[in-house]
Structure 1
């Protein structure tokens, strides 16, 4: 996103900046009246968010009771009050050491401000994670809004976008594609039109220049930039199909995520004939490549034999966890353990019994010398499955943590 700021002053002066960099400074005395608006043209059209205009922007409205409560809880971080003339004179009376004392206090206030910023960030992240967990809490898959859940992952790292705008954008894309459906078209024809419209006409495509960039995992940026990972493009495809009454699911094969449509009658086959016949009643979509493929091509993308692959729909909760695991890997590549921990926190909030993610978080805590947190995760693993063959190395690490002074909870 680019930040655009326009200021119109009384003397006819117009100041325009892009990302806080002044680019236009002119005086136009003819523009004495009129209206404020936005102009969009070309395809894809520009998008705007947080559009505001006023003589003076007002501060956010908050409840006084909430302000009092927060300040009471963070009283050790409170700001210094303004000084009157009498107080200033008392400081002057201190003498030459006063400036240094004020400078020292200034540094202390900066640290307090940093602490409040960190606290604000942590609280915001926890609230978003809680909302994500709630969005996945439905036992019925149909009740889970996969696009909203995927957008909430982006919200963890980036608060500056309106989630509902992207849900509306998906609705608009679906309506545009629906207008291309012939009146009496069947589901297979509509799937093929959806593939053609989304990937050929609208230009959504797989990211090849910077595959591992985090932007490819943020659904809002995928929808803005029209490029992404196999899983994020598949999610968009699934959600557009859902808006078009086409039952498409995720297909989480090892190393490559796909989308899959199955004819409703294929679900009624008996188990003996299921494996043999479902391939005849399905359409597999490689959203990253922007095309329809068969099982042989899907196997080639994974590097595995076709008989080793299970062509079964992925639950939506597992799709979201796979997105988060991708971000854990990206943060690891970037040597960013703080972000790794944040994504692992989210996975464990969704699935507390995910042993691999909890062990991974424990190791990150250990490397960062957050020994008590590491010990807490290791104890959880040992207590939740005392007979696991993986416990012996965990016990060794636990003893080492105890020797280093970590306290068991």
Structure 2
């Protein structure tokens, strides 16, 4: 597996041998590459203009002055949970807040609150620079502007002067600490202010001020060697960044994927999003019951009509489902799961008193916490409601007879929807006869608990604790069977994806890499809609082509691709969460704009060929890159993980030496075929799962490795071992038997026989 130490690619490395960034591995963001820096004289002039001359303040006065300009920044991680807290401060009355780049991350959602706890609305990331670890956020102050802190003249930052740092160390908000500016240090070509004061996570992005309350720098690091030693970025760097903005709207920054507003109309608040063929909703609606609607734009639909969607709830106490016969406002029907039951309701107005529950029924066919298909049939003045192909409700209610259709959510539920469809007839899902026969063999007789009365309890109790022990034994056995059934369900969901990987060679060559990468993602996201992501890449390529002349040169096409990916849309290499499995899932890379080198390279290659470039993958040890060989006379190596950095052969040689400890070979620069690329993606996933001790995930990836390289001995052995370790003994035996039918070396044959004998002994010991 390809391994990389995230910090080696950090913009501050190898400074990390000396100091430790507050959040290990600074997140990368849009830089000011290619922009001319302002001259020192211009920067000094702006600083001098913002500075205020007055007598020194005492600590109480200083806190009173500065704290009103300091804000708290909370950031979410890859999975949407809060991942950290940092600090920022106002630098311009128009609503600009300075902080560290690594505080807000790249493409992460964040919230900002002022010193009174009021939430501030961010409109854009006005400027960002990874190398300097700085960002400026544009805020809409509305009617409540915050005071801007003056920026000190850099010449006033003298060694030995008393300085103060404001922030939220270790999550302790509104803190201040004083210390000494002990030195200026040149570390890896950058000037930093060395501070003799305790700096902790949460101080990042906060202002370092003098006794006048003027900003000398931005706190960004603590020392690895001493808890009372920290570093700050000089204020001059902040002014340079402010004068060279590279603004990105906040919607684009946090990658909110709005629903297609030409097809859908959101009503009553909440946030509706659409990613890769799936619709999700978050936040509470502002209609009663926290209701929010997402209606189709089309007004009328002829009957007979069927409407279907698959829905999954994050909380079964919530509710979400289908809306029909809507007037585009408060009146409509709704069919949805709620608190484990299936409910048909009629909403006759805006108040709770106009809400009529027509039916509320349980159903054994509804699967809590899983995807369930809801379907409504409208025909002959009758409403028929289905869940997973089974009728659960029939109603002759006629209060509304026509209107729009769509989706609804209630309260704080965060539902997901997929496969919304409508038409005269929609086929119900059903089991084949063969599948039903297999399931019948697995069915367990139900226990007749209704036959247990007081007399039976007494009879069982007569045997003292033996009867209770036997019941506990049976309960343990049933739990084990339940776990095995869940395991089998995962295998069944995965089987179709593996079949498609096995037949990948039947796919047109131009489509194999993209289809293969999406199929790999489906191992962990079985509900993924691959075609939706193919269409997304097509749309991205169309956007790039719109800005290109038909006769655009190769270099122009490549530069436009770089600008679109890395500047306009913020795609970047994942550093702080390098080993997160999402970095190897193409759908998540597209959704989050973050990934491993090989996944960003796959995206680069797919877009490249759609805009007229001939781009191939180059599997350097430790770092997958690409080569644009459109111009055969001037092929160019490119590192998509490093924002499209163009590499020389010497750069490639340095990478090989760093990660493998040897000199570069010509074979290192040979293009990788689809099988080699997909194998490398899977090896990365196997390694990441191994770090988590996740045997089930390792097996999924081993299954895929065997699917695309069925004759590889080591991968087949790996899968057989994992099948045995996870209790899939019969499947493991099938692998061992297959291997023994192949032509093996004596050593390989001996290994297989020993493993098979060990597994056979394990099976015999487990038998009653």
TM-score normalized with structure 1 length: 0.73
Q: 1:214 to 1:70 in 2, by over 3 A?
A: same
Q: Write the distance in 1 (CA, Å) between the matches of 2:535 and 2:760.
A: 55
Of 620, 625, 637, 1:284 maps to: 637
Of 509, 512, 524, 1:141 maps to: 509
The CA deviation at 1:379 is: 6.1
The CA deviation at 1:401 is: 3.2
Q: Write the distance in 1 (CA, Å) between the matches of 2:722 and 2:446.
A: 41
The CA deviation at 1:175 is: 1.0
SS of the residue corresponding to residue 50 of structure 1 reads strand
SS of the residue corresponding to residue 302 of structure 1 reads helix
Of 604, 612, 619, 1:245 maps to: 612
User: Residue 418 of structure 2 corresponds to which residue in structure 1?
Assistant: 50
Q: Write the distance in 1 (CA, Å) between the matches of 2:537 and 2:460.
A: 58
- Contact 2:733–2:756 at 8 Å: present in 1 too? no
Of 12, 20, 35, 2:315 maps to: 20
Of 151, 163, 171, 2:518 maps to: 151
- Contact 1:295–1:306 at 8 Å: present in 2 too? no
The CA deviation at 1:208 is: 0.2
- Contact 1:375–1:398 at 8 Å: present in 2 too? no
SS of the residue corresponding to residue 260 of structure 1 reads strand
Residues 8-407 of structure 1 aligned to structure 2 (within 5 Å)? 12-15=288-291, 19-20=314-315, 28-29=350-351, 50=418, 61-63=428-430, 66=431, 68-78=433-443, 92=453, 95-96=456-457, 114-137=483-506, 141-142=509-510, 144-263=511-630, 266=632, 280-290=633-643, 291-303=645-657, 304-307=662-665, 309-364=667-722, 377=735, 384-387=742-745, 390-391=747-748, 394=751, 397=754, 401=758, 404=761
The CA deviation at 1:252 is: 1.4
- Contact 1:217–1:323 at 8 Å: present in 2 too? yes
Q: 1:129 to 1:372 in 2, by over 3 A?
A: closer
Q: Write the distance in 1 (CA, Å) between the matches of 2:609 and 2:568.
A: 20
Q: Write the distance in 2 (CA, Å) between the matches of 1:243 and 1:251.
A: 19
Q: 1:97 to 1:202 in 2, by over 3 A?
A: farther
Mean CA deviation greater in 241-250 or 392-401: 392-401
The CA deviation at 1:394 is: 2.3
Q: Write the distance in 1 (CA, Å) between the matches of 2:696 and 2:703.
A: 11
SS of the residue corresponding to residue 209 of structure 1 reads coil
The CA deviation at 1:330 is: 0.9
Q: Write the distance in 1 (CA, Å) between the matches of 2:584 and 2:555.
A: 29
What 5-or-longer segments of structure 1 have no aligned partner? 39-47, 267-279
Q: 1:257 to 1:82 in 2, by over 3 A?
A: same
Q: 1:37 to 1:302 in 2, by over 3 A?
A: farther
Based on CA coordinates, which of the two structures has the bigger radius of gyration? 2
- Contact 1:261–1:284 at 8 Å: present in 2 too? yes
Q: Write the distance in 2 (CA, Å) between the matches of 1:19 and 1:125.
A: 22
Q: Write the distance in 2 (CA, Å) between the matches of 1:402 and 1:53.
A: 48
Q: Write the distance in 2 (CA, Å) between the matches of 1:370 and 1:161.
A: 26
Q: 1:263 to 1:8 in 2, by over 3 A?
A: closer
Q: Write the distance in 1 (CA, Å) between the matches of 2:733 and 2:476.
A: 35
Q: 1:92 to 1:69 in 2, by over 3 A?
A: farther
Q: 1:8 to 1:176 in 2, by over 3 A?
A: closer
Q: 1:49 to 1:219 in 2, by over 3 A?
A: farther
The CA deviation at 1:238 is: 0.6
Q: 1:128 to 1:241 in 2, by over 3 A?
A: same
TM-score normalized with structure 2 length: 0.41
Mean CA deviation greater in 305-314 or 183-192: 305-314
Q: Write the distance in 1 (CA, Å) between the matches of 2:317 and 2:725.
A: 45
1:4 aligns with 2:281: yes
What 5-or-longer segments of structure 2 have no aligned partner? 1-78, 81-279, 294-312, 320-348, 355-399, 408-415, 462-466
Q: 1:366 to 1:119 in 2, by over 3 A?
A: closer
